[in-house]
Structure 1
Amino acid sequence: MKHVFLLLAVLFQGMILHARQHDLNITDYGAKSDGVTLNSPFIQAAIDACAAKGGGRVIVPAGRFLTGTIALKSNVTLVLQKNAFIVGSTNVNDYLNLDPFTDGLGVDVGYALVVAVDQQNIGIEGEGAIDGQGKQLKEIQIATDKRPEGERWGRRPFLLRVVRCSNVRVQGVKLLFAAAWTSHYFQCNRLHIEGVKIISHGVAHNDGMDIDGCQHVTIANCDIESGDDALCFKTTSSTMACRDIVVSNMRLKSGHGAIKMGTESMAPFENIKISNCYIYNTNNGGIKLLTVDGAHLRNIEISDITMVDVKTPILLRLGSRLSVFRKGKDTQQPTGIFENVVIRNVKAEASANAQLKPPSGILITGVPGHYITNVTLENISIRLAGGGTAEHARQVVPEAIDKYPEVKTFGPLVPAYGIWARHVKGLKLNNVSFTLDSNDVRPAFICEDGEAITVTNWNIPATTGAEAVIRLEQVGSAQIRNNKVQGKAAAFVRVERSNGSNIKVGKNRLNGIEPARYIHH
């Protein structure tokens, strides 16, 4: 009898699981792929019916199904079969904003084509695509919306928004030509994104993948071509950090930044690992880590990155813009913290046509009184155009304490061709090499206002006419050892505004260059 009860229990459990796994085809609820019918109510009816039955799959068969906003529900997976397209309406009035907020530029946004708010156990998968028709929507919108573009674009819908959801899977689908951000995941827990192809450009603000205050996230094997930032971590609210995230095996092409944290940066960015990424044809930073609205950015590891034709490979910024993005729900925060970041195994070919001319490889800067702390850059190789002059080597870089954090904010150029760092403590730079296509008399490395700086095992290319290979300004302590210099300069290390007592220079191969020169003023 015990075995009978056990068998009945197993069968009953199987019946429950089967009952909860329904397949509902949107065409059975009235959806038509004629390119004219607005299918929002029919697709929504299929989703609602599936949720009411306990969950299952809503099938989008082959065809092009025009629609406005559709909202996913708990325990429902939207399955786009091969050659299936969910196509966004070109009428902005067909979209809803179920979770309004303000973006980093101060624009009210949040409308979406496919959206889920406060749901669990949801998914989007299959071999089909979601096409936002962003360029066509914009052309129709501007015929009647006469506001400036900076205000007008917020009315356009994101392609996919997932808000405060748990157990989310997005796999295999293509996300195409959004009218604004392509995919935005806000305060989600247990999020898995894999094998997603994003092609989204043609209008401004075409971010590829925005991870906004999400936790326990895995992202793997995705291919992103975006007009704006490709893979971007944000915290538009102070209440939930971006935490416990693993990213691997990504191809990223971007009109702005390829891998980015910030600018919206109120809650922490913590325990994030990114590895094995190929970044190419990117018109701004390859890696941009930015906290300017109070966030603690710490315990970040980025490794095994290849960059080809990227403008300014790395930007690290701690600033004091201190914006608020959720109106009436958040308050302004004090300046944040930037610490414990490791970037290793990076090979980059920097574009000659960059925001900074002549171009530079890496910018690192805090603000007065707020230091970027314990950053390690290791096994870094960057090819640069060169071309810097003696005048360029003395360029004064603006603090831009409360400004939008962008490479061009610190332009038109910075005085080091390799790494320029300011307001830093515990900066470790190991096994760094540069290749220059032409002579550059700017220093390979400049540090302004630093403490506990370590420069080891560098391979510095042959240049002539430089005042110094390394310049340290107002640096309290530094270790500069085991570096190889191939060219000629007036000095290897030039120390300014410091007595140099705690700056140790030794065991370097200098090709006859004077090891150090101390300028007291």
Structure 2
Amino acid sequence: MRKFIVLILHLAFALSVNAADCNVRAFGAKGNGKSIDSKAIQRAIDACTASGGGTVTVPAGTYLSATIMLKDNVTLNLEEGATILGVTDYKAYSNPDPFTEGLGIEVGRALLVAVDANNIGLTGKGVIDGQGSALKARHIAEDNRPEKDRWGLRPFLFRVVRCNGVKVKDVTLKYAGAWTSHYFQCRNLTIEGVKILSKGVAHNDGIDIDGCRDVSISNCDIESGDDALCFKTTSSKMSCSNIKVSNMRLKSNQAGIKIGTESMAAFEDIKISDCYIYDTRNGGIKLFSVDGAHLRNIEISDIVMDNVRTPMLMRLGARLNVFRKNEDIRQPVGSFENVTIRNVVAAAADTAQLTPPSGILITGIPGHCITNLTLENIAITLRGDGGVEDAKVQVPEAIDQYPEVKTFGPTIPAYGLWARHVRNLTLRNVKFLLKNPDARPEIICEDGDIRIY
């Protein structure tokens, strides 16, 4: 009897180990690029989490898929040569957590998603490819509404919602139907060595960190159609805080690094360093609080920018949007304080949203000033070519408008730095180098106090 019991225990242990480390092929996945494999991959994930967790392996092959859900204690490992390929039928994707993004569109469908899960991972040398352009083409053929009304039906590539203990390492994320990766109200999140190539469709953000705490992001290479690295708070319930970012390569058709636009809860205790930002078409570093957020205790350092349109834009405004209509109410104006940007070398693009180009824009609104902002050891090279009449331009307040460089253009009356509604602005070793003469002042500060060293 004792030997029998021991044998049963050994068998139970062996079965649990086999269930915990699953291969999707054993659950029916074909990997031939033709069969829909999402149900088989889901069966493998479900078996793995039911057994207590482990690794679900996706071997080399192409796995055509609709929505897949990661669950507790499961790491999805894509081996080299493995591709999860999103189907082009936008109706096949589910939306487990709908919300409204900054332009007012309901979004949230996704190819790979995790909701309220603990200890999850996405790893390996494989690829997740959303076929964004092909998916968009099919969508347009079937949906004749204007693009601004229909795009929210297209899926994100990877969404992680209210999860604790998340590790994303080494994978390649390509060609999303909308945002590439979105992390909402997550804790203990690590993103390392991720490659993102996602462009060809509007709203192709690279990494969106939305109300997350205790976050580390490092050694990633992002080329995106929209903002490359973006911090948001689409809910007032949880701040973006205790975040460290280092050693990033960032290329974007919009901004390289952005905090905001969606900005209800605080952005605080964020450090970003050692980044290379290049060929961005709508800003290098953009920091916004426009929906009531307290943006504070931010440090950005050791940044190189090359061919960047409008290297820096900082804005405290009063758009005051609400993104989760059933959970939040409109907030009062927030704050923007205790921000330091240091050790930046930037070559501004000769052709920009502003004509002629300018280097740094900083503006609060009447009665709400940006406070305790320090810019230190910064050198920006600009085209120049501003005329006498350009120096006379009045910049609109745009108090409740979407915050964007073009909101304040097309011309700024200073070529280097223009600031308005600021208190305790400190410039220490800040230089603007001109390729051609410019008749505009180097620095203008309206309704503010500035110290230059």
Deviation digits for residues 297-322 of structure 1, max 9, x if unmatched? 00000000000000000000000000
1:165-314 equivalence runs, <5 A: 165-314=163-312
Whole-Å separation in 1 of the counterparts to 2:19 and 2:63: 24
Query: Could you tell me how far 1:250 is from its partner in structure 2?
Result: 0.1
Give SS of 2:141's match.
coil
Q: Choose from 373, 383, 386 the match for 2:384.
A: 386
Name 1:455's counterpart in structure 2.
Answer: 452
Aligned-partner residue type, residue 451 of structure 2: T
Whole-Å separation in 2 of the counterparts to 1:35 and 1:93: 19
1:364-403 equivalence runs, <5 A: 364-403=362-401
Task: State how many pairs are aligned.
Answer: 443
Give SS of 1:43's match.
helix
Q: Residue 33 of structure 2 contacts residue 61 of structure 2 at CA under 8 Å; is this kept in 1?
A: no
State percent identity of aligned pairs: 64
Aligned-partner residue type, residue 239 of structure 1: K
Give SS of 1:424's match.
strand
Query: Could you tell me how far 1:19 is from its partner in structure 2?
Result: 4.4
Q: Residue 21 of structure 1 contacts residue 57 of structure 1 at CA under 8 Å; is this kept in 2?
A: no
Q: Choose from 24, 27, 47 the match for 1:26.
A: 24
Q: Residue 313 of structure 1 contacts residue 350 of structure 1 at CA under 8 Å; is this kept in 2?
A: yes
Q: Which runs of 5+ in 1 are unaligned?
A: 1-11, 457-521
Q: How much is the aligned-residue C-alpha RMSD, in angstroms?
A: 1.5
Whole-Å separation in 2 of the counterparts to 1:198 and 1:19: 33
Aligned-partner residue type, residue 180 of structure 2: T
Query: Could you tell me how far 1:20 is from its partner in structure 2?
Result: 9.3
Do the aligned partners of residues 20 and 425 (structure 1) sit closer, same or farther apart at CA in structure 2, a change above 3 Å counting? Answer: farther
TM-score, with normalisation over the residues of structure 2?
Answer: 0.96
Give SS of 1:142's match.
helix
Q: Residue 252 of structure 1 contacts residue 280 of structure 1 at CA under 8 Å; is this kept in 2?
A: yes
Name 2:123's counterpart in structure 1.
Answer: 125
Deviation digits for residues 341-364 of structure 1, max 9, x if unmatched? 000000000001100010000000
Deviation digits for residues 324-380 of structure 1, max 9, x if unmatched? 000111000000000000000000000011000100000000000000000000000
Whole-Å separation in 2 of the counterparts to 1:90 and 1:279: 32
Give SS of 1:443's match.
coil
Q: Residue 21 of structure 2 contacts residue 54 of structure 2 at CA under 8 Å; is this kept in 1?
A: yes
Q: Extract structure 1 runs of 4+ deviating beyond 3 A.
A: 18-21
Q: Choose from 32, 44, 47 the match for 1:46.
A: 44
Aligned-partner residue type, residue 320 of structure 1: A
Aligned-partner residue type, residue 274 of structure 1: I
Aligned-partner residue type, residue 251 of structure 2: K
Name 2:56's counterpart in structure 1.
Answer: 58
Name 2:6's counterpart in structure 1.
Answer: none
Aligned-partner residue type, residue 72 of structure 1: L
Whole-Å separation in 2 of the counterparts to 1:437 and 1:391: 20
Aligned-partner residue type, residue 307 of structure 1: M
Query: Could you tell me how far 1:22 is from its partner in structure 2?
Result: 2.2
Whole-Å separation in 2 of the counterparts to 1:320 and 1:184: 25
Q: Residue 19 of structure 2 contacts residue 47 of structure 2 at CA under 8 Å; is this kept in 1?
A: no
Greater RCO, 1 or 2 (C-alpha within 8 Å, sep 6+): 2
Whole-Å separation in 1 of the counterparts to 2:81 and 2:279: 29
Whole-Å separation in 2 of the counterparts to 1:33 and 1:184: 26
Deviation digits for residues 216-249 of structure 1, max 9, x if unmatched? 0000000000000000000000000000000000
Q: Choose from 437, 441, 444 the match for 1:443.
A: 441
Q: Residue 219 of structure 1 contacts residue 248 of structure 1 at CA under 8 Å; is this kept in 2?
A: yes
Query: Could you tell me how far 1:21 is from its partner in structure 2?
Result: 8.1
1:482-497 equivalence runs, <5 A: none
